[in-house]
Amino acid sequence: MVKKMERREFLKTAMTVSAAIAFSPALAACGDGAAYESTSTEIRESMAVDAPNDHENYLDFVRQATLAANSHNTQPWLFKIAGDTIEIHLDHSRRLPVVDPDDRGLWISLGCALENMVIAANHAGYFSTVELPASAEGIITVRFETGAEKGSHPLAQAISLRQNMRNLYTGELVRTSDYAALTSIPLEPGVVLLPVVEPGRIKEIAGLISEGTLTQYSDPAFIDELVYWLRFNKKEAMNTRDGLFSACSGNPTAPRLIGKMFLNPKSAAKTAAAEVEKVMSASGMMVLASENDDVTHWINTGRVYERLALTMTNLGIRSAFHNQPIEVPELRPQLQEKIGAKTTLPQLLFRFGVADPMPVSVRRPVEEVII
């Protein structure tokens, strides 16, 4: 009992310290606040459609590719500019062996980056020919050819504005015409889009998300991997320019030692409840599913997701992933059944709706991802 009280007091003190840090601008910035803002704005500069030569254009395509959605903001990519092509390589040093043992999410992330690259190139006046790898040892190759109409791609300006928005949504429904626009976007071979908008079905899926969160948070290896990629304050986020910055998830910033204390199996129930609340605040959910679990289908899923996310960005619709029922193997067939995906496998699960803006995430400089 005494032990319990001591622990409670300790947690109370820790929370007070963390709240004080979060609400004290001088401390919260940890010396790098201004740098964080200017860097995240700089990397999101709008596209250079009139670069002086192909090489400058290609460098800008790489920058635009790195703004894509990607697992844990690991930015698991490397790019090689060779003649009139850009190769996209998977960076194996950025794997997530616990949450993503098959590199499924990593290849999806590369698909997201590829989609940004093709859109950026088209906007700058280039046609792209994409060659996908035959196996996980391969690379993606994009060959460029001039002749496309410059400045005409409708999704190009959304690349720098798209975000994964993890806050509570307002509960408002998106306009019917916008919903129709989303559900009719062009797909890639082997990928299907399955929307879920009935509140009863969303609640059922929220139940799976809760179960998935409880399972993941009870696994110390999952927590360790997550903590490794969490950036608890702007200084940490600026040191690595990758990972999950607390503020982008609506959490207070804090020194690592304090931030870490709130991530453990004991925080599972609270995290699961928060996930359910967020899901229920959305206008609806969507699943992207594919005919197979292989590199081609993962890349194609990423391409469709990014296209959809950019379309949502243009329409002022926010979205956020809740992939727990796909990441926890026992739950995937249950999700499959709930969404009526008889012959396709769920790859991405996300909510969409209306919400206030959130802080944006950062990326590493282009020089660091070019080989």
Ligand X SMILES: Cc1cc2nc3c(=O)[nH]c(=O)nc-3n(C[C@H](O)[C@H](O)[C@H](O)COP(=O)(O)O)c2cc1C
Q: 309 near 109, Cβ under 8 Å?
A: no
- The reply to whether 73 sits near ligand X by the rule CB under 6 A is yes
- The reply to whether 311 sits near ligand X by the rule CB under 6 A is no
The nearest distance, CB 320 to ligand X, in angstroms, is 6
- The reply to whether 109 sits near ligand X by the rule CB under 6 A is yes
Backbone angles phi, psi at 275, to 5 degrees: -60, -45
- The reply to whether 241 sits near ligand X by the rule CB under 6 A is no
Give CA–CA dist 206/282, Å, rounded.
11
- The reply to whether 63 sits near ligand X by the rule CB under 6 A is no
Q: 306 near 111, Cβ under 8 Å?
A: yes
Nearer to ligand X, 85 or 249 (CB): 249
- The reply to whether 105 sits near ligand X by the rule CB under 6 A is yes
- The reply to whether 18 sits near ligand X by the rule CB under 6 A is no
- The reply to whether 163 sits near ligand X by the rule CB under 6 A is yes
- The reply to whether 65 sits near ligand X by the rule CB under 6 A is no
User: Degrees (nearest 5) of the Cα angle 325, 329, 332?
Assistant: 45
- The reply to whether 164 sits near ligand X by the rule CB under 6 A is yes
User: Degrees (nearest 5) of the Cα angle 229, 227, 39?
Assistant: 35
Nearer to ligand X, 125 or 353 (CB): 353
Give CA–CA dist 261/322, Å, rounded.
23
Q: Which window, 56-64, 106-114, 150-158, 168-176, contacts ligand X (CB under 6 A)? A: 106-114
Site mask, ligand X, residues 335-364, x = CB under 6 A?
--------------------------x---
With CB under 6 A as the contact rule, the residue among 112, 156, 238, 286 that binds ligand X is 112
With CB under 6 A as the contact rule, the residue among 72, 95, 234, 278 that binds ligand X is 72
With CB under 6 A as the contact rule, the residue among 18, 40, 57, 70 that binds ligand X is 70
- The reply to whether 71 sits near ligand X by the rule CB under 6 A is yes
Give CA–CA dist 310/120, Å, rounded.
12
Give me the long-range contacts of 271-276 (CB less than 8 A, separation at least 24): 271/213, 271/217, 272/209, 272/210, 272/211, 272/213, 272/214, 272/217, 273/210, 275/206, 275/209, 275/210, 275/213, 275/322, 275/324, 276/206, 276/207, 276/209, 276/210
With CB under 6 A as the contact rule, the residue among 216, 283, 313, 323 that binds ligand X is 323
Nearer to ligand X, 164 or 215 (CB): 164
With CB under 6 A as the contact rule, the residue among 21, 59, 65, 69 that binds ligand X is 69
Tell me the one-letter amino acid at 10.
Answer: F
The nearest distance, CB 28 to ligand X, in angstroms, is 20
Binding residues with ligand X: total (CB under 6 A)? 18
User: Degrees (nearest 5) of the Cα angle 267, 278, 41?
Assistant: 95
Backbone angles phi, psi at 287, to 5 degrees: -125, 135
- The reply to whether 312 sits near ligand X by the rule CB under 6 A is no
Question: Residue 208's closest CA among 314, 300, 91, 326?
Answer: 326
Backbone angles phi, psi at 332, to 5 degrees: -60, -45
- The reply to whether 216 sits near ligand X by the rule CB under 6 A is no
Positions in the binding site for ligand X (CB under 6 A):
69-73, 105, 108-109, 112, 163-164, 166, 244, 320-323, 361
